[in-house]
Chain A
């Protein structure tokens, strides 16, 4: 960067960008100035007073306006009379900072002593114990003894439910306002505030329902004490007992990087997920994740998980069988038959690749499709004109335009909502929204277009020329779109019109520009990429083979149905063979996010019962059908796939698992700086280039005629974050929200 400011911190020179505050500058040279209220992702307030340092600037001779220098040419430093908060003081040229003088150390000691006067000594039962900034900083800087009287300790309410997901312990709270500022400045859900003042100041929620936010779980990560805890994790385990495995959230197209914290439960004799934590990936989710991603994990150890292959017996009942018998039965039925395969869009790339290969290479008469079917109708356009390879949401700001069409960002891709909102609110990007109803994103729009239900494609095709002309002058154009109330043809028409806008306005195939589809799940793009283009079979077939389709409505009719699934869903219950699959937490693999970032996830839990990964099941059937596949693991499948799939050329598990140092550094020993989000050791993934970026790609306009409004599509309920489903229904803490949203949808 050109505009660097030079300063010294404890005599060590450092050059940092203009505007950076001293705490961050010190962090660049591994000088960990202690903080409580400061957080690198939040606006500084300077209220905890923990980061006080001695600051000086070069002395200027008032007469000559020149820096006064000593005999050996060093500038004379004019030290400020009082200590300054390092979190609010921006660096300036020639500044000198001392972080280890007696005065500074005393101030830290004193602030800690004040904070500890009424802090309860319940570390042994506190969830934060072991990863607590207050504990760590007290050990590093605090007094061993307090001079104040124990009897004078102030008692406050403990276990105050702020909502059904977050609990507040008012005794532990040190009033740093990180949670309030996160909710106000990042989530824009103004649900928390201080009440009363002075020593009686306390955190309250004033929304109805209380703590009404999709992002509340993040406040527990950044809380520097154990004041905020989640209903899911509180009193469940100590942090040091937990194993942490890098993973990727499967519930929306964002592909948030997460860490699965697991522990061996002696009581039940098995491993289970104790909590889900965000894992830092500044390209994807920074250090945030939504509450669905954090709290939905209970399905992995649900009581009703399938543990054995099931085969329908002569009396028509599904009974437990052996893998050998079940696999052989499937192979026998599929051999030479007309097979229709459907694979769900949560399934990993490797499984989808083998499933696709099965249909293209092994089976003689078959067709394969993705469920849900509508995204498959436009995923090729979303890929071709998707955001450029080097797109970084952090660079979106002044001069850029974000166009949101026919989708609700917060409900469909919560963390994209956070990030694009910041591009608009904090950095000045222009937001235009076209939708049939209002959404939270509408708050920030500079222009809102409302069309009638199901008319998204019509609107886009009519507006193409006008919008293109308007967007020509924008620096970058990001178009977020969803497929609400549209048929497959309608959705494709909408995507095509939006692609035309990018082409006509000159933004196709550029970094920080492109289409951003609001796909339903984490691997919609990946599964689509893996499957061969086959014509969808119509009418009844011999065998239907359904992999992880949940309760999809559009499954083929067949004489014989095979289902690979986690649970005995309605579809599975009517199948002839049900094969128990493993959840994402029990195996490894890769997903491709909505913005085409390919990311690895790792095995955190041992498999349940006799469950097997989907790719293994597919391979075993293929072998029995004569295929010579010999894959020993997903890495081999991925390598083979990358050789043949041009989009994934050059990618491998090694490249995907590379992690580079990120800013701000979180997850280090100094938890107080970034909270308890996890450092990224599992890789930050890699986005493959959009075809439109590549030379030789013919970005040309295609005329679009919007199809008539599809009356059936109008019946589809718009996507909501907590909408009912096989997985979220099994969450021990979110089920109430699921019921609430279902009720809301029914009355709507």
Chain B
């Protein structure tokens, strides 16, 4: 294969063609020959780079420079300036109105982007864009020069662990599946990202779908599979669209289907859409759902590597895991293993949320500590408040208090602290957060999403939720904490799948680190963070000017008082909606 240092992509959409794109292309070829650059710079045609309104348009890679509006006469200058002298011809640069990406900003110095490297940078609906960013080069390399065993060895050496949450070494999983004799085998991508507030996988699927597709093809080659499924949740219509486009494009180029790249290896893939059940992110439930059955987990063993989809050997990894694979193959296991800690290699994406100044997607090398994430990347807590806890690992994760901020983020340290890595949810909570309320919130989510198959999760989580709801209402009683602890232990040890076994985590970790808050709720009938409505009352202090705004806005008429005199809230009528506090211009309303 011939290597060019630079590629020029000319847009050949009808609109640009009308504006003379072919003439530009011919002129470029002539000029490159004239200036002796034809062996270094390649000119290609591509459908659509921008919106063609400034055509003709072209894109220069790897520089990523987008030129518009040049004429044939401008070409000698452009070639000389850019390709000979290496200077960007500012005259033809597209001046874009920068749209701020709320989800994914520019990387900060602490970040390393492997999985997110192409997101927001390439056109996800254009395979050429991906190919220009070394796309499918890893596949070509693997098919041309690696045996399946070598691929697995590389995966093992890279130390990549499953990014779905549990962190099982991906190479080992592939090894088990390869060792299974039965055929056909299936490669499955878990794109059922269900954790509330998490969108790492969605962003990859929407922004760089080919990375996942390429990773899956490589996995299929390694384990000996000819068929794959991407199980994507229906709530991600755009991701489903980009994936389907990506699959069609890859198929059109012979990167999927029969005899891929002339290697004799065949593999094809399709997208299956989930129906919104959180539990379908559990691999056995996911496979049941693909089979068209009720999305319910089943006991393991047998593990999917032995008996998975349609009782055939199957390999399930999540989006982020597969998206790492091409880079590992291309840049080598050593490169990947150079990032991270001894047992947790590489990078991890997180969806930062909560009471921090900067939220959104980040990708950091494992081993970074929480303080760097909260204060350097997320730029600290909003409004200068104090940090109370960091919730990591999704609904089955746990809350860590400030004293854990300096511990590294890796699989082992998080497990030791009583939480899990999870798929990448990271919620920062400030001092105004009630930890009992947070536990109740997550329990509500879990109870809602329990499939109901096994008794402890079906009934037990409901019992936990009832107790938590009672405590938040102010009806907690002596013995509740002990009952909760007992329930945590039981549900953990007797539930069927990871959902049930992880269900008690939010309660267990808050009980461990914030037990005093539970005690305040139960014994002192007080919510220290002033959140739980059953335990707070609104009062008006002397700062009140008697403006009557609060009384007029109160939906239940609980506020009385004469104009220009101190108003009073009737605690019995008050529903603790907090509207009075929002409308008061004198900060005269306080929570007690």
A residues sitting closer than 8 Å to B (CB atoms) are: 45-50, 52, 82-83, 85, 88, 103, 106-107, 110-111, 114-115, 117-118, 147-149, 152, 174-175, 193-194, 196-201
Q: Is the interface of B mostly helix, strand, loop or mixed?
A: helix
Tell me how many residues of B have a C-beta within 8 Å of chain A.
Answer: 27
Question: Is chain A's interface secondary structure helix, strand, loop, or mixed overall?
Answer: loop
Listed by A's residue number, 28 A-B pairs whose Cβ atoms lie within 8 Å are: A46-B298, A47-B455, A49-B455, A49-B494, A49-B496, A52-B494, A83-B494, A85-B496, A107-B490, A107-B493, A110-B490, A111-B456, A114-B460, A115-B455, A117-B463, A147-B483, A148-B466, A152-B466, A174-B455, A196-B452, A197-B277, A198-B448, A198-B451, A199-B450, A199-B458, A199-B459, A201-B451, A201-B452
- Residue A47 contacts which of B279, B460, B490, B496 (CB distance < 8 angstroms)? B496
Q: Which of B448, B451, B456, B483 contacts A114 (CB 8 A)?
A: B456
When C-beta atoms are compared, the residue in chain B nearest to A82 turns out to be B493
- Shortest Cβ gap from A275 to chain B (Å): 30
**Which residues of B lie under 8 Å from residue A200 when comparing CB positions?**
452
Closest CB in chain B relative to A563 CB, distance in Å: 56
Cβ < 8 Å to A, chain B residues 256-308: 277, 279, 294, 298-299
Which of A106, A107, A148, A196 is within 8 Å of B463, CB to CB?
Answer: A148
Bound: A639/B298 CA distance, A: 56
A198–B458 touching, CB < 8 Å:
yes
Lowest 7 A-B CB distances belong to which pairs?
Answer: A201-B452, A114-B459, A46-B299, A198-B450, A110-B490, A88-B299, A198-B452
CB distance from B180 to the nearest CB of A (A): 17
Other 19 A-B pairs with CB < 8 A, given A49-B496, A117-B463: A45-B453, A46-B298, A48-B454, A48-B455, A49-B456, A52-B494, A85-B299, A111-B455, A111-B456, A114-B456, A114-B459, A117-B459, A147-B483, A175-B452, A175-B453, A197-B277, A197-B279, A198-B451, A200-B452
Bits for B451-485, please: 1 = Cβ < 8 Å to A, else 0: 11111101110110010000000000000000100
Residues of A within 8 A of B459 (CB): 114-115, 117-118, 199
Q: How far is the CB of B233 from chain A (nearest CB, A)?
A: 16
Is B137 located at the chain interface by the 8 A CB criterion? no
Chain B residues closer than 8 Å to A50, beta-carbon distance: 455
Is A83 touching B493 in the complex (CB atoms < 8 A)? yes
Q: Which residues of A contact B463 (CB under 8 A)?
A: 114, 117, 148, 152
When distances are taken between beta carbons in the complex, the residues of chain A under 8 Å from B454 are 46-49
Complex Cα gap A365–B451 (Å): 75
Q: State the CA gap A48–B500 with chains docked (Å).
A: 13
Chain B residues with CB under 8 Å of A174's CB are: 455
Specify the chain A residue showing the minimal Cβ separation from B460.
A114
Q: Check A49–B495 contact: CB distance below 8 A.
A: yes
Q: How far is the CB of A248 from chain B (nearest CB, A)?
A: 39
Instruction: State how many angstroms separate the Cβ of A155 from the closest Cβ of chain B.
Output: 14
B552 vs chain A, min Cβ distance (A): 39
Contact partners of B455 in chain A: CB under 8 A: 47-50, 111, 114-115, 174-175
Do A110 and B453 touch across chains, with their CB atoms under 8 A apart?
A: no
Residues of B within 8 A of A115 (CB): 455, 459
Q: Are the CB atoms of A201 and B494 closer together than 8 Å?
A: no
Is B449's beta carbon under 8 Å from chain A?
yes
Q: Give the shortest distance, in Å, between B416 (CB) and chain A (any CB).
A: 16
Complex alpha-carbon distance, A114 and B294, angstroms:
23
A45 to B452, CA, bound (A): 13
Give the shortest distance, in Å, between B415 (CB) and chain A (any CB): 13
A47 / chain B contacts, CB cutoff of 8 Å: 453-455, 496
Shortest CB-to-CB span from B172 to chain A, Å, is 15
**In this assembly, does B190 line the interface, its C-beta being within 8 Å of a C-beta of chain A?**
no
Q: Which residues on the A side are within 8 Å of B315 (C-beta)?
A: none
Please give me the residue from chain B that is nearest to A115 by CB atom.
B455
**How many angstroms from the CA of A47 to the CA of B495 in the assembled complex?**
9
Q: How far is the CB of A174 from chain B (nearest CB, A)?
A: 8
Cα of A48 to Cα of B454 in the assembled complex, Å? 5
How many Å from the CB of B280 to the closest CB on chain A? 11
**In the complex, chain B residues whose CB is within 8 Å of the CB of A175:** 452-453, 455, 458
B433 within 8 A of A: no
Question: Is there an interface contact between B452 and A197, defined as CB atoms closer than 8 Å?
Answer: yes
Q: State the CA gap A585–B375 with chains docked (Å).
A: 85
Closest to B448 in A: A198
B447 contacts which of A196, A199, A201 (Cβ < 8 Å)? A199
Contact A193 B294 (CB under 8 A): yes
> Which B residues are CB-close (under 8 A) to A117?
459, 463
Contacts of B494 in A (CB 8 A): 49, 52, 83, 107, 110-111
Closest to B453 in A: A47
Give residues of chain B (376-409) contacting chain A, Cβ–Cβ below 8 Å.
none
Q: Are B462 and A199 touching (Cβ within 8 A)?
A: yes
- Name the residue in A83, A152, A199 with the highest tally of chain B Cβ atoms < 10 Å from its Cβ: A199
Q: Find the B residue at minimum CB distance from A198.
A: B450
- Whether A198 pairs with B447 at a CB distance below 8 angstroms is yes
Determine the distance from Cα of A82 to Cα of B301 in the docked complex, in whole angstroms.
13
Q: How far is the CA of A199 from the CA of B464 in the complex (A)?
A: 13
A-side contacts of B447, CB under 8 Å: 198-199
A83 to B493 alpha-carbon distance, docked (Å): 7
Report A-chain residues with C-beta under 8 Å of the C-beta of B449. 197-198
Chain B residues near A106 (CB-CB < 8 A): 490
Please, how many angstroms separate the alpha-carbon atoms of A526 and B447 in the complex? 60
Known: A114-B455, A175-B458. A45 touches B466 (CB 8 A): no
Contacts of B495 in A (CB 8 A): 49
With the chains together, A201 CA to B462 CA distance in Å?
Answer: 13
A82 contact set on B, CB distance < 8 A: 493
- Residues of B within 8 Å of A199, CB to CB, are 447, 450, 452, 458-459, 462
Question: Which residues of B405-452 have CB atoms within 8 Å of chain A's CB atoms?
Answer: 447-452
Docked complex Cα distance between A114 and B483 (Å): 13
Given contacts A46-B496, A47-B453, A110-B494, contact A194 B294 (CB under 8 A): yes
- CA gap between A61 and B85 in the complex, in Å: 66
What is the chain B residue whose CB lies nearest that of A118? B459
Closest to B492 in A: A82
Q: A225 CB to closest chain B CB, in angstroms?
A: 13
In the complex formed, the residue of B with least CB distance to A107 is B494
Residues of A within 8 A of B483 (CB): 147
Question: Measured between alpha carbons, how far is A102 from B382 in the docked complex, in Å?
Answer: 49
Name which residue of chain A comes closest to B457, CB basis. A198
When distances are taken between beta carbons in the complex, the residues of chain A under 8 Å from B490 are 106-107, 110
Residues of B within 8 A of A197 (CB): 277, 279, 449-452
How many Å from the CB of B474 to the closest CB on chain A? 16
Most buried by A among B452, B483, B495, B496: B452
Closest to A84 in B: B299
Residues of B within 8 A of A52 (CB): 494
